[in-house]
């Protein structure tokens, strides 16, 4: 392979058989169970990086079922999103993500900087209850439940929350293991078609684990829950802060 061929074809690893195809990535019938809970402000301040600003002790725990996505296929994901402000604008900082498919793990980390790890999340309906679970190996790390489709949500409010910006820390090491890229990335969900949205009673349990540390942001009080389905496109990101620039 010639140098020009490498430059022309390279966008992911491995070079001759990339882990995922080029985007954009569209999702059909993407299903969310989002449980919003109160936690400890000090715990949030320890994990949210400047220049993002924590303004309330709130976490959104998300279970996401993705049965039909271009390039990434059929998979399930779960994790924690922390409400933050950046330059006075509210959004969400993606703190943790666990999923069961190698392609979106590789693509999410390499392109945007999603904090993805391999695990076994699941969403299913059990009679009158929507159930989300996260197992890391054989160990149960998270369990969320919600009454199934009890009350219809305010669609405009739910759509506005989906359209808000999200933030990530993208870290790529150099060959000496020091960071070569360390950036704050912002992205948006695009072309959203909200198909349905519901609320109801909910509960959430997070359990200690040495590697899957969702319980480090403890549940003090469950505040609300939403169950929704939507078609959408995962927009590409933009760098809004470079942690390695102008180092002294």
Q: What pLDDT does 242 receive?
A: 96
Q: What pLDDT does 248 receive?
A: 56
Model confidence pLDDT, tens digit, residues 76-134 = 999 999 999 999 999 999 999 999 999 999 999 999 999 999 999 999 999 999 999 99
Per-residue pLDDT of the chain (248 residues; tens, 9 = 90+): 999 999 999 989 999 999 999 989 999 999 999 999 999 999 999 999 999 999 999 999 999 999 999 999 999 999 999 999 999 999 999 999 999 999 999 999 999 999 999 999 999 999 999 999 999 999 999 999 999 999 999 999 999 999 999 999 999 999 999 999 999 999 999 999 999 999 999 999 999 999 999 999 999 999 999 999 999 999 999 999 999 997 65
Q: What pLDDT does 246 receive?
A: 75
Alpha-carbon span 242 to 185, nearest angstrom: 9
E strand or H helix at 231, and its extent?
A: strand 221-234
pTM, two decimals, is 0.95
Kind of pairing between the strands at 189-199 and 139-147: unpaired
Q: What pLDDT does 23 receive?
A: 86
Alpha-carbon span 171 to 68, nearest angstrom: 28
Q: What pLDDT does 37 receive?
A: 98
User: What residues have CB less than 8 Å from 120, skipping those under 6 apart?
Assistant: 100, 134, 135, 136, 137
List the catalytic residue out of 116, 122, 195, 229.
116
Which domains are delineated in the chain? 22-242 (2.40.400.10)
- What count of Cα atoms within 13 Å lies in the side-chain half-sphere of residue 109? 19
Are the beta carbons of 36 and 58 closer than 8 angstroms?
Answer: yes
Alpha-carbon span 151 to 198, nearest angstrom: 6
- What count of Cα atoms within 13 Å lies in the side-chain half-sphere of residue 133? 13
For residue 199 the two structure tokens come to 């609320």
Q: Tell me whether residue 229 is one of the annotated catalytic residues.
A: no
What's the angle, vertex CA 240, arms to CA 191 and CA 28, rounded to 5? 20
Model confidence pLDDT, tens digit, residues 176-185 = 999 999 999 9
């Amino acid at each position: 392979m010639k140098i020009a061929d490498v430059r022309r074809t390279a966008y992911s690893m491995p070079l001759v058989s990339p882990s995922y195809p080029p985007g954009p990535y569209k999702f059909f019938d993407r299903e969310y169970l989002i449980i919003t809970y109160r936690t400890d402000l000090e715990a949030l301040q320890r994990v949210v990086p400047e220049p993002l600003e924590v303004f309330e002790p709130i976490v959104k725990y998300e279970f996401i079922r993705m049965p039909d996505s271009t390039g990434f296929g059929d998979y399930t994901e779960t994790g924690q999103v922390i409400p933050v402000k950046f330059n006075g604008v509210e959004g969400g900082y993606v703190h943790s993500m666990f999923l069961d498919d190698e392609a979106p793990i590789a693509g999410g980390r390499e392109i945007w900087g999603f904090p993805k790890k391999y695990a076994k999340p699941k969403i299913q309906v059990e009679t009158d209850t929507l159930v989300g679970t996260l197992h890391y190996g054989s160990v149960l790390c998270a369990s969320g439940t919600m009454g199934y489709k009890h009350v219809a949500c305010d669609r405009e409010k739910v759509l506005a929350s989906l359209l808000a910006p999200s933030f990530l820390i993208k870290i790529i090491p150099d060959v000496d293991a020091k960071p070569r890229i360390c950036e704050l990335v912002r992205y948006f969900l695009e072309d959203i078609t909200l198909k349905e949205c519901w609320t109801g009673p909910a509960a959430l349990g997070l359990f200690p684990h040495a590697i899957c540390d969702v319980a480090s942001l403890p549940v003090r009080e469950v505040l609300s829950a939403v169950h929704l389905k939507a078609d959408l496109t995962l927009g590409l990101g933009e760098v809004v802060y470079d942690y390695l620039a102008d180092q002294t």
